[in-house]
Amino acid sequence: MTLDDTIAAIATPLGEGGLAVVRLSGSHAFSIADKCFEPVGKTSLKPSSAPTHTIQFGKIVHHARVIDEVLLAVLRGPRTFTREDTVEISCHGGLLPAKLILDALLAGGARLAEPGEFTKRAFLNGRIDLAQAEAVADVIHSRTELALAAANEQLAGKLSQRINQLRDDFMLTLAHLEAHIDFPDEDIAPDTKSQLLTRLENGVAFMDELLQTADEGQLLRRGIRAAIIGRPNAGKSSLLNQLLGHDRAIVSHIPGTTRDTIEETANIRGLPVIFIDTAGLRESHDEIEREGIRRSRRSLEQAELILHVFDASEPLAESDEMYLAELAGKKRILVLNKTDLPLKLELPSRSNTGAQPFEKIHISCVSRQGIEALKEAIKSMVWAGEIKAEMLQIAINSRHQDALNRARASARQAADALRNDVTLELVAMDLRIAANAIGEIVGKTTTEDLLDSIFSAFCIGK
C-alpha cells in the first residue's frame, strides 16, 4: 500500500436505501472529484474551490450522462479521518447510483480502496493508534450497548493511555540500565536497584490486571455460544423464541420439528449471546433428522454454555440421565419447562464430583414465568460480578492478550535477572523485548504482516 495515491470506495452497505455514501481520500481527491462533479445553483462550487468542511449541491456526470443528484462534502486535511484531503458524496441509495459514482471516480484516477484502508491511513498518518483502529471495527460490529460502550472507550484512547504509560515506565527503566552498561565502573546503588525492581513489578502487576479483562473483552466483542438442547418436544424452540422476543423457530407439538441448528444472537443483560437451537436428542431412523442430531452434537462441542431443557410435566427419561452425565463437564443451566402443568419431573442430585456447577431454573414458555430469572442466570454464568465502567475502559482483545503475555514473561524474567545480579546486558535485552511487545498493542512496534492481518478484517469503505 502506498499513501501517494488516492483511494475510493462505497462506505455504506450495498442494497436499496434512502442514502449511500461514496468516500474519496488522498492528495488528488479534489481534482478527481472536479472531473465528475457539476455544481448546481449560484452558491455551489467545484470541490477544489470550495472551503473546507462545506457541503456542495450538484450532479455527478460521467461520459456526458447524469448519474445522480448529490451532496458533496469537502474536507481538507489534516482535519479529516485520514488526515488527507477527503470527499464524501451522498447519493440516493440503491444498487446502481453509488456503484456508477464509484466507477466515475475510478475512471478519474482513483484506486479502489482495500478493506480497512481508510482506517489504516488514519493510523499510518498518526491520527489514531493501532488499539483505536481496532476499536473502529468493534464499534461497527457491536451487538449490545455494553459492547458499544467498551469500543467507544477504546476508541477514545482510554486503553492506549494506560498502555503508553506502561511502555514509558519500561523505557525509562531500560534507559537507567543502559546508562549503567555504558559506565560499567559505576555499580547500581541498592536504592536505585530497588526502585527499578519496584517499577518492573508494578508493570507486571498492571499487566496482570489487564489480562484479567481478556475473557470479558472477548465476550463483549464476539459473544458467547449457548446451545439449547434436550429431548424432542421439551420446548427448545419455544425457549429460543422467548429469549429472542420474537418467533424465529417453528414450534409444534409434533416431536422432531427442528431438523437443523438455528443460530440467533440476543442481548442478554447487555451481553451478546449466540443461541443455537438444536435438533432433539434421540435415536431416529429418519436420515434428515439424524443429520440434524449430528449437527447438534457439533454445536455441543463448540458451545461455551449449555441450556439443557426438560419437560417438567414428564418423568425423567433414561436419555435425560445419559445426557446429564455426558454434559457434566460443561457449564450449563438446567431449564425445567412447562411448569404451568402438573410437575412430574425429579432431577437427581449432583453426584458427579467432577461436574461443573450448574443453575436450575423453572420456566413456562406459555406464561413467560421464569424467563427473566433465566436471563439473569445466563448473565451470571458468563460474567461474574457487576459490569463496571472502568472495566469497559480496558477490556482487551485476543491480540492484546498475546502481546501482554509475551511482555509479562519477559518483564518477569528481567526482574528476576536484576534481583539475582545477572549481567545487565541480559536484563536490558529482556526488558527491550517486553517494551516492544507492549508497543505492538498501540502500533509503536509493528510489521506489515501484523497490519495486513488487522485491517483485512475490516469492511471496504472503512
**Fold of domain 133-213+394-443:** Four Helix Bundle (Hemerythrin (Met), subunit A) (1.20.120)
pLDDT at 78: 95
pLDDT at 281: 54
CA–CA distance, 443 with 402 (Å, rounded to integer):
14
- What stretch of H or E contains 229? strand 224-230
In three-state form (DSSP H/G/I as H, E/B as E, the rest C), the secondary structure along the chain is CCCCCCEEEECCCCCCCCEEEEEEECCCHHHHHHHHEEECCCCCCCHHHCCCCEEEEEEEEECCEEEEEEEEEEECCCCCCCCCCEEEEEEECCCCHHHHHHHHHHHCCCEECCCCHHHHHHHHCCCCCHHHHHHHHHHHHCCCHHHHHHHHHHHCCHHHHHHHHHHHHHHHHHHHHHHHHHCCCCCCCHHHHHHHHHHHHHHHHHHHHHHCCHHHHHHHHHCEEEEEEECCCCCHHHHHHHHHCCCCCCCCCCCCCCCCCEEEEEEECCEEEEEEECCCCCCCCCHHHHHHHHHHHHHHHHCCEEEEEEECCCCCCHHHHHHHHHCCCCCEEEEEECCCCCCCCCCCCCCCCCCCCEEEEECCCCCCCCHHHHHHHHHHHHCCCCCCHHHHHCCCCHHHHHHHHHHHHHHHHHHHHHHCCCCHHHHHHHHHHHHHHHHHHHCCCCCHHHHHHHHCCCCCCC
Ranges in the chain, pLDDT < 70: 1-3, 184-188, 191, 246-261, 279-297, 299, 349-357, 384-393
Q: Is-contact 342 294, C-beta < 8 A?
A: no
What residues does CATH 3.30.1360.120 cover in the chain? 7-127
CA–CA distance, 67 with 448 (Å, rounded to integer):
39
- Cell numbers linked to 367: 406464561
CA–CA distance, 157 with 140 (Å, rounded to integer):
17
Helices (runs of H) and strands (runs of E) counted in the chain: 16, 13
pLDDT at 251: 46
What residues does CATH 1.20.120.430 cover in the chain? 133-213+394-443
Q: Read off the pLDDT of residues 17-42 as tens digits, 9 standing for 90 and up.
A: 899 999 999 999 999 999 999 999 99
Tell me the residue ranges of DSSP E strands in 269-393.
271-277, 305-311, 332-337, 358-362
Q: In this structure, which long-range contacts are made by residues 172-176, counting pairs with CB atoms below 8 Å and at least 24 apart in sequence?
A: 172/199, 173/199, 173/200, 173/431, 174/428, 174/431, 174/432, 174/435
Phi first, then psi, for residue 118 (nearest 5°) are -65, -45
CA atoms within 13 A on the CB side of 223: 22
Residue-level length of the chain: 462
- The mean of the pLDDT values for the chain is 85
Whose cell is 475473557? That residue is: 215
pLDDT at 349: 67
**7-127: CATH class:** alpha beta
Q: Within 10 A of 126 (CB to CB), how many other CB atoms are there?
A: 10
In three-state form (DSSP H/G/I as H, E/B as E, the rest C), the secondary structure along 258-305 is CCCCEEEEEEECCEEEEEEECCCCCCCCCHHHHHHHHHHHHHHHHCCE
3-state secondary structure of 57: strand
Q: Read off the pLDDT of residues 320-354 as tens digits, 9 standing for 90 and up.
A: 888 888 778 788 899 999 988 888 888 876 655 45
Task: Please confirm whether the linkage preceding 232 is cis (ω < 30° from 0).
Answer: no
- What stretch of H or E contains 59? strand 54-62
pLDDT at 347: 81
Q: What pTM did the predictor assign?
A: 0.77
Q: Within 10 A of 384 (CB to CB), how many other CB atoms are there?
A: 9
What residues does CATH 3.40.50.300 cover in the chain? 226-382
Phi first, then psi, for residue 300 (nearest 5°) are -60, -40
3-state secondary structure of 37: strand
Instruction: Indicate the CATH number for domain 226-382.
Output: 3.40.50.300
Whose cell is 545487565? That residue is: 424
